[in-house]
Amino acid sequence: MSGHSKWHNIQARKSKVDSKRSKIFTKLVKEISVAAKMGGSSIEGNSKLKDAIEKAQYNNIPKETIERAIKKGAGELSGDNYENLVYEGYGPFGVAVIVKALTDNKNRTAGNVRHIFSKFSGNLGSSGCVSYMFKEVGEIVVDSSQDISEDEIMEIAFNCGADDFQTHESDNVYVIKSSVENFKKIKEELESENIDFLEAEVMLQADTNVFLDSDEKINIIEKFIDALEDDDDVQEVFCNAEYEIDN
């Protein structure tokens, strides 16, 4: 498993998703509000809002909740004032970590994140200390049980500029990787062919990874990432840990 793949990260801990469902709802609603605040309440010309709404719909967040979050972000309803924050540092075993947060109290969030890094013998660093190791890539996860062949989906992906196409038989998905520039083109072409996907977003991928060679190290890293993701203000966590998972 590569820590830079959000899909893999989610699948590795999928048994814990149900217990975190309320936190997921809170984070997605917050993401919608911030996207509406930054780019307006219309999805036309606001791709971040469109993506946030799609993620919320995939996670079965009610339409009324989504609409209320948009109105709060656009200033039509009163609500909390959130800001984007990014933290960088090194976790256990020298693993590079980037934490993205949305918060209405940056002192609280900084303190919580710093405490988690310290608890797991990591170090929270200054801006830029590890971000140079990562690059933005597009990742689309497609349900492989649809009435369309793997070859057809692969052809669409590569014709639109995909860089990589992976088949994960145990999870019944295809994972398409691309540059940020080609991500939207691939996503729109899949939509035009009525191909459903489970996730589609721009994420961070490490240029080089730290391989974890023992179950003990893997367990510690997963607990560290879980602790960060459990914080209400943390939206996403990316790292360059790499290890094998027994299916």
- The 10s digit of each residue's pLDDT in 88-122 is 999 999 999 999 999 999 999 999 999 999 999 99
- pLDDT for 187-228, tens place per residue? 999 999 999 888 888 899 999 999 999 999 999 999 999 999
Same domain, 58 and 157: no
Residue, of 44 and 11, whose pLDDT is higher: 44
Length of the chain in residues, anyone? 247
Looking at the structure of the chain, the number of domains it has is 2
Same domain, 103 and 216: yes
- pLDDT for 52-82, tens place per residue? 998 888 888 999 999 999 999 888 888 778 8
Same domain, 121 and 143: no
pLDDT at 150 over 50: yes
What average pLDDT does the structure give for the chain? 88
Q: Among 227, 13, 206, 199, which residue's Cα sits nearest to residue 119?
A: 227
Lowest mean pLDDT among 6-15, 17-26, 68-77, 89-98: 6-15
30 vs 85, 128, 184, 235, CA distance in Å? Answer: 13, 25, 23, 9
Same domain, 2 and 38: yes
Same domain, 34 and 16: yes
Same domain, 173 and 126: no
pLDDT at 244 over 80: no
Same domain, 40 and 28: yes
Q: What is the CATH number of the domain that holds 177?
A: 3.30.70.980
pLDDT at 1 over 90: no
**Residue 11 domain boundaries:** 1-134+207-247
Same domain, 173 and 129: no
Q: Where are the alpha helices (DSSP H) in the chain?
A: 6-12, 21-39, 47-58, 63-73, 106-119, 150-159, 180-192, 215-230
Same domain, 195 and 227: no
What's residue 245's pLDDT? Answer: 62
Residue, of 175 and 20, whose pLDDT is higher: 175
Same domain, 66 and 141: no
Confidence of residue 21 (pLDDT cuts 50, 70, 90): low
Same domain, 100 and 8: yes
Share of the chain above pLDDT 90, in %: 68
Same domain, 146 and 237: no
What's residue 4's pLDDT? Answer: 41
pLDDT at 18 over 80: no
Distance CA 140, CA 84 (A): 24
pLDDT at 17 over 80: no
DSSP 185-221: HHHHHHHHTT--EEEEEEEEEESS-EE--SHHHHHHH
